[in-house]
Amino acid sequence: MAVIGTAGHVDHGKSTLAQALTGIDPDRLREEKERGLTIDLGFAWLTLPSGRELGIVDVPGHERFIKNMLAGAGGVDLALLVVAADEGPRPQTREHLAILDLLEVPSGLVVITKCDLVEPGYVDLVEEELAGTLRDSANFTRLDAGYKNNVIPSEATAHIDCRFLPGHQDELLDTIRELAGEHVDLIIDQLGISVDAPRDSAFVASMQAAIQAEDPDAALLPYCLSAGTDNKALEALGIHGYGFVPLKLPADLNFAMLFHGVDERVPVDAVRFGARVLRRLLDDC
Ligand SMILES: Nc1nc2c(ncn2[C@@H]2O[C@H](COP(=O)(O)OP(=O)(O)OP(=O)(O)O)[C@@H](O)[C@H]2O)c(=O)[nH]1
Ligand SMILES: [Mg+2]
């Protein structure tokens, strides 16, 4: 029997998804039902229309029960990484993903839950954020070949801008080498590190206070940014960069799609908001 495992941050809807798929409530302990929180592993199963049997191991998301999650994730054939649309990726989303990676779970997919709690269009933003957070990326940015119209070029060069998740450098380079094949030389002309800035610091608390003074509903969340290249150079000098660019953007502006694109722009009001927040942050430092 193939086994599917859930994974993801606390309260993002893992058990609800397992129940929706199977009709079986995986939270079997009384305390779990009373608290609405998974503590220990839960199990559910279903038979696919093809007759194939599937088992589901439902894991807790709360960081206190990470040991139980670890026990459940070993040996699953496919992981369902559950991310709630109203919160996006949170610390245990990344932690569980790292565990699945470590345990070499062979395949997985991301399930976005609680789509009913957000405005239409917002799910697209969550999807884009997830793509940058969960995957390495490689984009062709420059292609050069030839010097004359009627001469076949003896050489062609493609520049690839790669962004790898922390710890994924070798894997990404191996994949590119394999895809390039034996007739293409891979030359690394610039190699940056993946940096991870500390979250429990007075500076982060100041950022939180500065943004909440201008927008009381705002929450400061850590996330994995596929940009912020300058921070790599600063990290070498012992300076942590946070990519803190506070902009209060209209819900219907898909900024992620405009970022470093041909028509990159934000409303003037968003910049004014950001200037006010940064002023507060500077005053506090
Ligand atoms: N509106 C809405 N609520 C949802 C959805 N999925 C889950 N919920 C609610 O979110 C809460 C948490 O759901 P759970 O399934 O217990 O979350 P979980 O990821 O299993 O939580 P832990 O196991 O404790 O990490 C419950 O009150 C669910 O009813 C959804 O798609 N829409
Ligand atoms: Mg649960």
pLDDT digits (tens, 9 = 90+) for 22-66: 999 999 999 999 999 999 999 999 999 999 999 999 999 999 999
pLDDT in tens, 93-146: 888 998 998 899 999 999 999 999 998 788 888 887 787 777 888 989 999 999
| CA 107–ligand 2 middle distance (angstroms) | 21
The residue whose CA has the least distance to atom 6 of ligand 1 is: 13
Residue 153: burial class (beta carbons within 10 Å; 0-12, 13-18, 19+): exposed
Q: Which amino acid is at 5?
A: G
Q: Which residues line ligand 1 (CB under 6 A)?
A: 10-16, 36-38, 60-62, 113-114, 116-117
Rounded Cα distance, 131 and 189, in Å = 26
Same fold, 2-134 and 202-284: no
Q: What integer pLDDT is reported at residue 102 of this predicted model?
A: 87
CATH 3.40.50.300, applies to 2-134? yes
Indicate which residue's Cα is closest to atom 13 of ligand 1. Answer: 13
What pLDDT was estimated at residue 274?
97
- Which residue, by CA, sits nearest to atom 2 of ligand 1? 114
Nearest ligand to residue 9 Cα: 1
Architecture of domain 202-284: Orthogonal Bundle (1.10)
Domain ranges of the chain: 2-134, 137-180, 202-284
pLDDT at 197: 84
Higher-confidence residue: 90 or 275?
275
**Cα 166 → chain centroid:** 12
What pairs with residue 79 in β-bridges?
5, 108
What token pair was written down for 245? 């660019």
Joined tokens for residue 133: 């957070």
